[in-house]
Amino acid sequence: MFLYCGIACRRKFFWCYRLLSTYVTKTRYLFELKEDDDACKKAQQTGAFYLFHGLAPLLQTSAHQYLAPRHSLLELERLLGKFGQDAQRIEDSVLIGCSEQQEAWFALDLGLDSSFSIRASLHKPEMETELKGSFIELRKALFQLNARDASLLSTAQALLRWHDAHQFCSRSGQPTKKNVAGSKRVCPSNNIIYYPQMAPVVITLVSDGTRCLLARQSSFPKGMYSALAGFCDIGESVEETIRREVAEEVGLEVESLQYCASQHWPFPSGSLMIACHATVKPGQTEIQVNLRELETAAWFSHDEVATALKRKGPYTQQQNGTFPFWLPPKLAISHQLIKEWVEKQTCSSLPA
Ligand SMILES: NC(=O)C1=CN([C@@H]2O[C@H](COP(=O)(O)OP(=O)(O)OC[C@H]3O[C@@H](n4cnc5c(N)ncnc54)[C@H](O)[C@@H]3O)[C@@H](O)[C@H]2O)C=CC1
Ligand SMILES: [Mg+2]
Protein backbone atom coordinates (compact mmCIF):
# COMPACT_ATOMS: atom_id res chain seq x y z
CA MET A 1 0.00 0.00 0.00
CA PHE A 2 1.35 3.42 -0.93
CA LEU A 3 0.25 6.86 0.18
CA TYR A 4 1.32 10.48 0.13
CA CYS A 5 2.68 11.72 3.39
CA GLY A 6 4.79 14.45 4.90
CA ILE A 7 7.97 13.71 6.79
CA ALA A 8 8.84 16.28 9.37
CA CYS A 9 12.49 17.08 8.83
CA ARG A 10 14.75 18.56 11.44
CA ARG A 11 14.69 21.98 9.75
CA LYS A 12 11.50 23.80 10.72
CA PHE A 13 8.94 24.40 7.93
CA PHE A 14 10.77 22.04 5.58
CA TRP A 15 8.44 19.31 4.42
CA CYS A 16 9.03 17.00 1.54
CA TYR A 17 6.23 15.18 -0.19
CA ARG A 18 6.85 12.00 -2.08
CA LEU A 19 5.47 8.58 -2.59
CA LEU A 20 6.36 6.45 0.44
CA SER A 21 5.26 2.99 1.39
CA THR A 22 3.41 2.46 4.68
CA TYR A 23 6.46 0.58 5.94
CA VAL A 24 8.85 3.47 5.24
CA THR A 25 6.44 5.98 6.80
CA LYS A 26 6.15 3.83 9.92
CA THR A 27 9.92 3.37 10.17
CA ARG A 28 10.59 7.10 9.82
CA TYR A 29 7.93 7.86 12.45
CA LEU A 30 9.54 5.47 14.95
CA PHE A 31 12.96 6.95 14.19
CA GLU A 32 11.58 10.43 14.92
CA LEU A 33 10.10 9.27 18.25
CA LYS A 34 13.44 7.77 19.32
CA GLU A 35 15.32 10.96 18.46
CA ASP A 36 12.85 13.59 19.67
CA ASP A 37 11.68 13.45 23.31
CA ASP A 38 8.88 16.00 22.76
CA ALA A 39 7.48 14.10 19.78
CA CYS A 40 7.60 10.89 21.80
CA LYS A 41 5.79 12.47 24.77
CA LYS A 42 3.12 13.71 22.34
CA ALA A 43 2.82 10.21 20.88
CA GLN A 44 2.08 8.86 24.37
CA GLN A 45 -1.10 11.01 24.46
CA THR A 46 -2.65 9.04 21.60
CA GLY A 47 -0.60 5.88 22.07
CA ALA A 48 -1.34 2.54 23.71
CA PHE A 49 0.47 0.75 26.53
CA TYR A 50 1.28 -2.93 27.06
CA LEU A 51 1.56 -3.60 30.79
CA PHE A 52 4.05 -5.80 32.65
CA HIS A 53 4.58 -6.66 36.30
CA GLY A 54 8.02 -7.88 37.34
CA LEU A 55 8.76 -8.46 33.60
CA ALA A 56 5.66 -10.69 33.19
CA PRO A 57 3.24 -9.34 30.55
CA LEU A 58 -0.46 -8.72 31.27
CA LEU A 59 -2.40 -11.32 29.27
CA GLN A 60 -6.00 -12.33 28.77
CA THR A 61 -7.13 -15.81 27.74
CA SER A 62 -9.16 -16.38 24.58
CA ALA A 63 -9.78 -19.82 23.00
CA HIS A 64 -6.47 -21.59 23.91
CA GLN A 65 -4.53 -18.43 23.07
CA TYR A 66 -3.26 -15.51 25.06
CA LEU A 67 -4.06 -11.97 24.00
CA ALA A 68 -2.04 -8.93 25.08
CA PRO A 69 -4.44 -6.05 25.85
CA ARG A 70 -3.39 -2.43 25.30
CA HIS A 71 -4.41 0.54 27.46
CA SER A 72 -4.67 4.23 26.63
CA LEU A 73 -2.77 6.89 28.56
CA LEU A 74 -6.01 7.96 30.25
CA GLU A 75 -6.79 4.41 31.40
CA LEU A 76 -3.25 4.05 32.68
CA GLU A 77 -3.38 7.32 34.63
CA ARG A 78 -6.68 6.21 36.19
CA LEU A 79 -5.20 2.84 37.14
CA LEU A 80 -2.11 4.38 38.74
CA GLY A 81 -4.30 6.86 40.62
CA LYS A 82 -6.50 4.06 41.94
CA PHE A 83 -3.45 2.23 43.32
CA GLY A 84 -1.93 5.35 44.83
CA GLN A 85 0.96 5.47 42.36
CA ASP A 86 2.42 8.60 40.82
CA ALA A 87 1.45 9.18 37.16
CA GLN A 88 5.10 10.19 36.66
CA ARG A 89 5.78 6.46 36.63
CA ILE A 90 4.64 6.52 32.97
CA GLU A 91 8.05 8.10 32.27
CA ASP A 92 9.50 4.60 32.80
CA SER A 93 7.69 3.32 29.69
CA VAL A 94 9.58 2.30 26.55
CA LEU A 95 8.61 2.59 22.89
CA ILE A 96 8.23 -0.82 21.23
CA GLY A 97 6.52 -0.12 17.90
CA CYS A 98 3.53 1.47 16.21
CA SER A 99 0.50 0.56 14.11
CA GLU A 100 0.20 1.34 10.40
CA GLN A 101 -1.96 4.30 11.42
CA GLN A 102 0.94 5.56 13.57
CA GLU A 103 -0.52 4.76 16.96
CA ALA A 104 2.65 4.46 19.04
CA TRP A 105 2.94 1.41 21.29
CA PHE A 106 4.73 1.52 24.63
CA ALA A 107 5.47 -0.97 27.40
CA LEU A 108 5.44 -0.17 31.10
CA ASP A 109 6.34 -2.40 34.05
CA LEU A 110 4.12 -1.70 37.05
CA GLY A 111 5.98 -4.09 39.32
CA LEU A 112 9.60 -2.99 39.09
CA ASP A 113 10.71 -0.44 41.64
CA SER A 114 11.43 2.89 40.00
CA SER A 115 12.53 6.35 41.05
CA PHE A 116 8.85 7.33 40.88
CA SER A 117 7.46 4.45 42.89
CA ILE A 118 8.89 1.93 45.31
CA ARG A 119 7.29 -1.26 46.59
CA ALA A 120 4.99 -1.21 43.54
CA SER A 121 4.90 -5.01 43.52
CA LEU A 122 2.52 -5.02 46.49
CA HIS A 123 -0.51 -4.41 44.26
CA LYS A 124 -0.20 -7.28 41.77
CA PRO A 125 -3.37 -9.34 42.56
CA GLU A 126 -5.55 -6.24 42.84
CA MET A 127 -4.20 -4.92 39.54
CA GLU A 128 -4.93 -8.24 37.84
CA THR A 129 -8.54 -8.08 39.02
CA GLU A 130 -8.87 -4.48 37.90
CA LEU A 131 -7.29 -5.20 34.49
CA LYS A 132 -9.26 -8.46 33.95
CA GLY A 133 -6.11 -10.39 33.13
CA SER A 134 -3.04 -12.03 34.67
CA PHE A 135 0.65 -11.20 34.61
CA ILE A 136 2.08 -14.42 33.15
CA GLU A 137 5.76 -15.32 32.75
CA LEU A 138 6.70 -14.78 29.09
CA ARG A 139 8.48 -18.14 28.92
CA LYS A 140 5.18 -19.90 29.70
CA ALA A 141 3.05 -17.80 27.36
CA LEU A 142 5.29 -17.10 24.33
CA PHE A 143 4.13 -20.00 22.18
CA GLN A 144 0.44 -19.31 22.84
CA LEU A 145 0.61 -15.77 21.50
CA ASN A 146 0.09 -14.70 17.89
CA ALA A 147 3.33 -13.86 16.03
CA ARG A 148 2.86 -10.07 16.32
CA ASP A 149 2.21 -10.06 20.08
CA ALA A 150 5.03 -12.58 20.65
CA SER A 151 7.48 -10.31 18.86
CA LEU A 152 6.25 -7.09 20.56
CA LEU A 153 6.25 -8.60 24.05
CA SER A 154 9.70 -10.15 23.51
CA THR A 155 11.08 -6.77 22.50
CA ALA A 156 9.30 -5.07 25.38
CA GLN A 157 10.56 -7.52 27.99
CA ALA A 158 14.16 -7.34 26.77
CA LEU A 159 14.06 -3.53 26.76
CA LEU A 160 12.39 -3.24 30.18
CA ARG A 161 14.92 -5.70 31.64
CA TRP A 162 17.83 -3.78 30.13
CA HIS A 163 16.63 -0.46 31.62
CA ASP A 164 16.05 -2.07 35.00
CA ALA A 165 19.62 -3.40 35.00
CA HIS A 166 21.29 -0.21 33.71
CA GLN A 167 20.12 2.41 36.19
CA PHE A 168 23.68 3.53 36.98
CA CYS A 169 26.71 4.65 34.99
CA SER A 170 29.46 2.02 35.21
CA ARG A 171 32.12 4.77 35.05
CA SER A 172 30.78 7.45 37.48
CA GLY A 173 28.34 5.38 39.55
CA GLN A 174 25.75 8.16 39.07
CA PRO A 175 22.12 7.40 38.09
CA THR A 176 21.64 7.34 34.30
CA LYS A 177 18.61 8.94 32.64
CA LYS A 178 16.60 7.30 29.87
CA ASN A 179 15.31 9.24 26.87
CA VAL A 180 11.51 9.22 26.52
CA ALA A 181 11.45 6.37 23.97
CA GLY A 182 13.86 4.27 26.02
CA SER A 183 16.26 3.77 23.11
CA LYS A 184 19.22 4.91 25.25
CA ARG A 185 20.34 6.05 28.72
CA VAL A 186 22.74 8.91 29.39
CA CYS A 187 24.93 9.65 32.41
CA PRO A 188 24.36 13.37 33.16
CA SER A 189 27.77 13.71 34.83
CA ASN A 190 29.94 12.61 31.88
CA ASN A 191 27.49 12.29 28.92
CA ILE A 192 28.33 8.63 28.34
CA ILE A 193 25.49 7.12 26.31
CA TYR A 194 24.39 3.52 26.96
CA TYR A 195 22.41 1.71 24.27
CA PRO A 196 20.31 -1.45 24.84
CA GLN A 197 22.37 -4.54 24.04
CA MET A 198 21.63 -8.07 22.98
CA ALA A 199 23.90 -11.10 22.88
CA PRO A 200 24.43 -12.83 19.52
CA VAL A 201 23.76 -16.58 19.65
CA VAL A 202 24.36 -19.04 16.83
CA ILE A 203 22.02 -21.99 16.42
CA THR A 204 23.32 -24.63 14.04
CA LEU A 205 21.71 -27.66 12.45
CA VAL A 206 24.53 -30.08 11.67
CA SER A 207 23.95 -32.61 8.90
CA ASP A 208 26.01 -35.51 7.56
CA GLY A 209 24.21 -35.39 4.22
CA THR A 210 21.32 -37.68 5.10
CA ARG A 211 20.84 -37.27 8.85
CA CYS A 212 20.78 -34.25 11.17
CA LEU A 213 22.18 -33.86 14.64
CA LEU A 214 19.82 -32.85 17.44
CA ALA A 215 20.57 -32.45 21.13
CA ARG A 216 18.96 -31.99 24.53
CA GLN A 217 19.94 -29.86 27.50
CA SER A 218 18.70 -31.22 30.84
CA SER A 219 16.63 -28.03 31.24
CA PHE A 220 14.59 -28.78 28.06
CA PRO A 221 11.05 -30.18 28.46
CA LYS A 222 11.11 -34.01 28.45
CA GLY A 223 11.43 -35.50 24.95
CA MET A 224 12.28 -32.21 23.21
CA TYR A 225 15.40 -32.02 21.03
CA SER A 226 16.77 -28.95 19.25
CA ALA A 227 19.70 -27.79 17.14
CA LEU A 228 23.01 -26.87 18.84
CA ALA A 229 23.07 -23.33 20.23
CA GLY A 230 25.80 -21.17 21.73
CA PHE A 231 26.68 -17.56 22.54
CA CYS A 232 29.27 -15.82 20.35
CA ASP A 233 32.45 -15.12 22.28
CA ILE A 234 33.85 -11.62 22.00
CA GLY A 235 35.96 -11.19 18.87
CA GLU A 236 34.42 -14.16 17.05
CA SER A 237 32.73 -14.21 13.65
CA VAL A 238 29.51 -16.20 13.25
CA GLU A 239 31.48 -18.85 11.32
CA GLU A 240 34.04 -19.16 14.13
CA THR A 241 31.28 -19.51 16.75
CA ILE A 242 29.61 -22.28 14.76
CA ARG A 243 32.87 -24.25 14.44
CA ARG A 244 33.77 -23.75 18.13
CA GLU A 245 30.29 -24.56 19.52
CA VAL A 246 29.92 -27.74 17.45
CA ALA A 247 33.42 -28.87 18.46
CA GLU A 248 32.80 -28.00 22.14
CA GLU A 249 29.37 -29.58 22.43
CA VAL A 250 29.57 -32.72 20.25
CA GLY A 251 33.27 -33.07 19.30
CA LEU A 252 32.80 -32.70 15.54
CA GLU A 253 34.27 -30.42 12.87
CA VAL A 254 31.97 -28.74 10.37
CA GLU A 255 32.22 -27.04 6.97
CA SER A 256 29.83 -25.69 4.28
CA LEU A 257 28.12 -23.21 6.58
CA GLN A 258 24.90 -21.69 5.29
CA TYR A 259 22.79 -18.90 6.79
CA CYS A 260 19.07 -19.66 7.25
CA ALA A 261 17.33 -16.91 9.29
CA SER A 262 17.52 -14.87 12.50
CA GLN A 263 15.21 -14.11 15.40
CA HIS A 264 15.19 -11.97 18.51
CA TRP A 265 14.95 -14.23 21.56
CA PRO A 266 14.11 -12.63 24.92
CA PHE A 267 15.78 -15.29 27.13
CA PRO A 268 17.89 -15.16 29.20
CA SER A 269 18.19 -11.40 28.64
CA GLY A 270 17.79 -10.55 24.96
CA SER A 271 19.67 -12.53 22.30
CA LEU A 272 19.90 -12.34 18.53
CA MET A 273 19.57 -15.94 17.37
CA ILE A 274 21.40 -16.53 14.07
CA ALA A 275 20.31 -19.83 12.52
CA CYS A 276 22.64 -21.71 10.17
CA HIS A 277 23.08 -25.09 8.50
CA ALA A 278 26.44 -26.87 8.58
CA THR A 279 27.82 -30.17 7.27
CA VAL A 280 30.27 -32.38 9.17
CA LYS A 281 33.67 -32.93 7.59
CA PRO A 282 33.89 -36.26 5.73
CA GLY A 283 34.42 -39.23 8.03
CA GLN A 284 33.49 -37.25 11.17
CA THR A 285 30.19 -38.58 12.41
CA GLU A 286 31.00 -40.06 15.81
CA ILE A 287 29.42 -37.81 18.44
CA GLN A 288 31.28 -37.12 21.68
CA VAL A 289 28.79 -35.33 23.91
CA ASN A 290 30.12 -32.67 26.29
CA LEU A 291 28.07 -33.59 29.34
CA ARG A 292 28.74 -30.22 31.00
CA GLU A 293 26.67 -28.62 28.22
CA LEU A 294 24.29 -31.29 26.98
CA GLU A 295 22.29 -34.21 28.34
CA THR A 296 22.48 -36.10 25.05
CA ALA A 297 22.86 -35.70 21.28
CA ALA A 298 22.12 -38.04 18.38
CA TRP A 299 21.74 -38.33 14.61
CA PHE A 300 18.16 -38.42 13.32
CA SER A 301 16.94 -39.56 9.91
CA HIS A 302 14.84 -37.42 7.57
CA ASP A 303 11.74 -39.54 8.27
CA GLU A 304 12.13 -39.37 12.07
CA VAL A 305 12.46 -35.58 11.93
CA ALA A 306 9.64 -35.11 9.39
CA THR A 307 7.32 -37.18 11.61
CA ALA A 308 8.30 -35.23 14.73
CA LEU A 309 7.63 -31.90 12.97
CA LYS A 310 4.03 -33.02 12.36
CA ARG A 311 3.57 -34.25 15.94
CA LYS A 312 1.27 -32.15 18.13
CA GLY A 313 1.40 -31.90 21.94
CA PRO A 314 0.74 -32.53 24.74
CA TYR A 315 3.84 -34.73 24.86
CA THR A 316 2.98 -36.92 27.83
CA GLN A 317 4.90 -39.85 29.26
CA GLN A 318 4.30 -43.12 27.41
CA GLN A 319 3.50 -46.48 29.02
CA ASN A 320 7.17 -47.59 28.79
CA GLY A 321 8.14 -44.48 30.82
CA THR A 322 9.74 -42.56 27.93
CA PHE A 323 8.54 -39.34 26.33
CA PRO A 324 7.85 -39.02 22.58
CA PHE A 325 10.55 -37.33 20.46
CA TRP A 326 9.37 -33.80 19.63
CA LEU A 327 10.79 -30.54 18.29
CA PRO A 328 10.50 -26.87 19.32
CA PRO A 329 7.22 -25.15 18.35
CA LYS A 330 6.70 -23.13 15.15
CA LEU A 331 7.56 -19.73 16.66
CA ALA A 332 11.07 -20.90 17.66
CA ILE A 333 13.73 -20.34 15.04
CA SER A 334 15.05 -23.88 15.59
CA HIS A 335 11.72 -25.16 14.21
CA GLN A 336 12.21 -23.10 11.05
CA LEU A 337 15.79 -24.34 10.70
CA ILE A 338 14.82 -28.00 11.09
CA LYS A 339 11.83 -27.59 8.74
CA GLU A 340 14.07 -26.04 6.07
CA TRP A 341 16.48 -29.01 6.34
CA VAL A 342 13.60 -31.51 5.97
CA GLU A 343 12.29 -29.66 2.89
CA LYS A 344 15.76 -29.56 1.29
CA GLN A 345 16.23 -33.27 1.92
CA THR A 346 12.80 -34.00 0.42
CA CYS A 347 13.64 -31.96 -2.71
CA SER A 348 17.07 -33.55 -3.17
CA SER A 349 15.59 -37.08 -2.92
CA LEU A 350 13.01 -36.38 -5.68
CA PRO A 351 13.85 -37.86 -9.09
CA ALA A 352 15.29 -35.23 -11.49
N1 LIG B 1 14.93 -19.95 19.92
C2 LIG B 1 15.36 -21.22 19.86
O3 LIG B 1 14.90 -22.00 19.03
C4 LIG B 1 16.45 -21.70 20.79
C5 LIG B 1 17.03 -20.80 21.64
N6 LIG B 1 18.07 -21.18 22.43
C7 LIG B 1 18.69 -20.13 23.25
O8 LIG B 1 20.03 -20.00 22.87
C9 LIG B 1 20.77 -19.50 23.96
C10 LIG B 1 22.16 -20.08 23.97
O11 LIG B 1 22.14 -21.49 24.07
P12 LIG B 1 23.06 -22.26 25.12
O13 LIG B 1 23.20 -23.65 24.63
O14 LIG B 1 22.48 -22.04 26.49
O15 LIG B 1 24.45 -21.45 25.04
P16 LIG B 1 25.97 -21.97 25.28
O17 LIG B 1 26.17 -23.27 24.62
O18 LIG B 1 26.86 -20.83 24.88
O19 LIG B 1 26.06 -22.26 26.82
C20 LIG B 1 25.56 -21.39 27.81
C21 LIG B 1 26.71 -20.89 28.68
O22 LIG B 1 27.44 -19.92 27.95
C23 LIG B 1 27.97 -18.93 28.82
N24 LIG B 1 27.70 -17.61 28.22
C25 LIG B 1 28.55 -16.96 27.40
N26 LIG B 1 28.04 -15.77 27.01
C27 LIG B 1 26.85 -15.65 27.60
C28 LIG B 1 25.82 -14.62 27.58
N29 LIG B 1 25.97 -13.51 26.87
N30 LIG B 1 24.69 -14.85 28.28
C31 LIG B 1 24.52 -15.98 28.98
N32 LIG B 1 25.46 -16.97 29.05
C33 LIG B 1 26.60 -16.81 28.36
C34 LIG B 1 27.35 -19.20 30.19
O35 LIG B 1 28.34 -19.85 30.96
C36 LIG B 1 26.23 -20.17 29.92
O37 LIG B 1 26.01 -21.08 30.97
C38 LIG B 1 19.96 -19.79 25.21
O39 LIG B 1 19.59 -18.55 25.78
C40 LIG B 1 18.73 -20.50 24.73
O41 LIG B 1 17.58 -19.99 25.38
C42 LIG B 1 18.57 -22.46 22.43
C43 LIG B 1 17.99 -23.41 21.63
C44 LIG B 1 16.86 -23.12 20.79
MG1 LIG C 1 24.78 -24.72 23.85
CA of 281 to the centre of ligand 2 (A): 20
Q: In terms of domains, do 149 and 65 share one?
A: yes
Domain closes at, from 155, 178, 194: 194
Structural domain count of the chain: 2
Q: In terms of domains, do 206 and 334 share one?
A: yes
Q: In terms of domains, do 190 and 261 share one?
A: no
Task: Decide if 54 contacts 109 (C-beta within 8 A).
Answer: yes
Q: In terms of domains, do 190 and 203 share one?
A: no
Taking Cα atoms as reference points, which of 291, 286, 296, 299 lies closest to residue 322?
296
Give me the domain span that covers residue 139: 2-194
CA of 262 to the centre of ligand 2 (A): 17
Model pLDDT for residues 12-48, shown as the tens digit of each residue: 444 455 678 899 999 999 999 999 999 999 999 999 9
Question: Is residue 229 included in any domain, yes or no?
Answer: yes
Which of 143, 197, 201 has most ligand 1 atoms within 8 Å of CB, for mutation? 201
Q: In terms of domains, do 154 and 226 share one?
A: no
pTM over 0.80: yes
Measured CA to CA, the distance from residue 180 to residue 183 in angstroms comes to 8
ipTM comes to 0.95
Model pLDDT for residues 266-325, shown as the tens digit of each residue: 988 889 999 999 999 999 999 999 999 999 999 999 999 999 999 887 788 888 888 899
Q: In terms of domains, do 177 and 212 share one?
A: no
Q: In terms of domains, do 161 and 221 share one?
A: no
Q: In terms of domains, do 44 and 100 share one?
A: yes
Task: For residue 333, give the ligand 1 atom closest to its CA.
Answer: 3
Taking Cα atoms as reference points, which of 240, 222, 221 lies closest to residue 230?
240
Residue with CA at minimum distance from ligand 1 atom 41: 267
Give Cα 173 to chain centroid, integer Å. 29
Task: Decide if 327 contacts 224 (C-beta within 8 A).
Answer: yes
Residue 159 exposed, middle or buried by CB count within 10 Å (0-12, 13-18, 19+): buried
Question: Is residue 318 included in any domain, yes or no?
Answer: no
